[in-house]
Structure formats: structure tokens, C-alpha cells
């Protein structure tokens, strides 16, 4: 299964091409900063941006596997496995926004440059996650209806907020589900019982709200009716005639 062919299908080529360009530009400006300052401090953004691509890859694979199903009453373990893996890696996409914390560690003469670099990577990662979320939402909507589709979005935003908390404050990674399951379980239990960061529930609620509202606005923008497009006077006269 060629992932590049799946990513650059006709129905997804426009957003994928735009995201590829944005990712290339983001990586380029990180590299330029490293060359300019001689400091590799922000090289982690390149790795985080790579991780932000993984949810989109798994969403595309899950969508393709769903299309291949002959009996869609039974989803099959491959589709379910890809969907679970998508959910596991989905928080990596919006996680880059929390990298803004590195700007507050100490004053830097490159503050505004660094802010622009992090925001470039963060916004690219956020849209990567939202494209993958849209693909998964479309599958849920097709199978269970529009209301359940939006409940799925809300649930994904909440779980993503929880995953971001585990990554930023407890320093877990997505692969720790396999690498450190016991320690991860202890971390999740600590959050669930309120033993972690004192403002954890405010963070979880507010970040989930941010993700849901950001996705909702982007969804609305991409679903504007084509009737809003202005037509030339010649086209309007031809339509009337």
C-alpha cells in the first residue's frame, strides 16, 4: 500500500500539497535559525512536526481500509487497529502549541523570531491534525449520522487534551503505551484522582474547548457555499441569457 499515492489522491491533493509546503517552509526556517545562531535549541520542532504527520497517515490508511471492507457491518481488526493508532497519535498534532512554553524559560533577543517559528510549526501541526480528524469524522458520520460525528469530534478533542497533558506535564510519549505501560497507567491514575498538576482540570477543559472551537471554525470556513463566489459581469449575463 503506497502511502504517498493515498495521500495525494485527487480528493485530498489540495490540502496535502498545502500542508507539505507549509511543513517544508517550517522546517526550513528552523534550519535557518540553527545556522544563523549556531544553536540547535529548537531542532525538536522538526521531530514534533514529523509526529504531527502521523495522525494524518493513520487516518488515510484507516479510510482506505474502510473502503476495502466488503461487509461494513463488521469493521475488522485492521480498521479498528488503524483507528486506535490514529487516536493514540492524534494529540501529537496540536501538542506543538505547548512548545510556546520554551519562550518563557529565559529572555532571548530572538524572542519574536522564535515566536514566529513555533507558531508556524504549531499551526501546521494543528491543521494536520484537523485534516485527519475530518477524515475520521466523515467515516463516523457516514456510519452513524451527523450528530454522532460531532460527538466523536468533541470526544477526540477531550482525549487529545488529556494526551497533551500527559505529554507536556508528565513527559509521556504515544509509544509509552507499549514501552512503559505500567508507568503510564500510574500517570493516568494520578491525573484521574487529582494528584497531578494543581490546575490540571482547567487545562484539560480549556484546551479541549480550544481544539473543538478551532476545528469548528475551520470546518465552517471550508464549508462556505460556492454561491458566495463573485462572478464576472459577462458570466452573470450569460447565466441570465
Q: Which pLDDT band, with edges at 50, 70 and 90, does 147 fall under?
A: very high
pTM value is 0.88
pLDDT for residue 238 is more than 60? no
User: pLDDT digit string (tens) for 87-108?
Assistant: 999 999 999 999 999 887 665 6
Q: Which pLDDT band, with edges at 50, 70 and 90, does 157 fall under?
A: very high
**Cell 484521574 found at:** 192
What pLDDT does 105 receive?
64
pLDDT for residue 240 is more than 60? no
**Cβ-contact 6, 60 below 8 angstroms:** yes
Average pLDDT over residues 166-189: 85
User: pLDDT digit string (tens) for 78-87?
Assistant: 899 999 999 9
Amino acid at each position: 500500500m503506497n502511502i504517498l499515492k493515498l495521500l495525494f489522491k485527487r480528493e485530498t491533493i489540495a490540502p496535502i500539497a498545502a500542508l507539505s509546503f507549509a511543513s517544508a517552509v517550517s522546517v526550513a526556517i528552523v534550519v535557518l535559525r540553527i545556522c544563523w545562531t549556531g544553536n540547535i535549541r529548537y531542532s525538536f520542532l522538526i521531530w514534533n512536526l514529523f509526529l504531527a504527520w502521523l495522525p494524518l497517515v493513520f487516518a488515510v490508511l484507516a479510510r482506505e481500509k474502510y473502503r476495502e471492507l466488503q461487509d461494513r457491518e463488521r469493521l475488522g481488526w485492521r480498521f479498528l487497529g488503524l483507528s486506535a493508532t490514529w487516536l493514540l497519535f492524534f494529540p501529537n498534532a496540536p501538542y506543538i502549541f505547548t512548545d510556546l512554553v520554551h519562550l518563557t524559560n529565559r529572555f532571548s533577543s530572538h524572542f519574536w523570531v522564535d515566536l514566529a517559528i513555533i507558531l508556524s510549526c504549531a499551526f501546521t501541526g494543528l491543521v494536520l491534525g484537523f485534516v485527519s480528524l475530518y477524515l475520521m469524522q466523515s467515516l463516523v458520520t457516514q456510519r452513524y449520522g451527523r450528530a454522532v460525528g460531532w460527538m466523536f469530534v468533541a470526544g477526540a478533542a477531550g482525549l487529545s487534551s488529556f494526551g497533551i497533558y500527559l505529554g507536556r506535564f508528565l513527559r509521556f510519549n504515544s509509544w509509552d503505551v507499549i514501552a512503559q505501560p505500567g508507568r503510564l497507567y500510574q500517570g493516568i491514575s494520578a491525573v484521574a484522582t487529582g494528584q497531578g498538576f494543581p490546575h490540571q482540570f482547567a487545562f484539560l477543559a480549556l484546551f479541549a474547548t480550544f481544539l473543538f472551537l478551532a476545528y469548528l471554525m475551520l470546518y465552517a470556513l471550508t464549508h462556505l457555499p460556492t454561491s458566495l463566489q463573485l462572478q464576472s459581469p459577462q458570466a452573470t449575463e450569460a447565466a441570465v441569457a
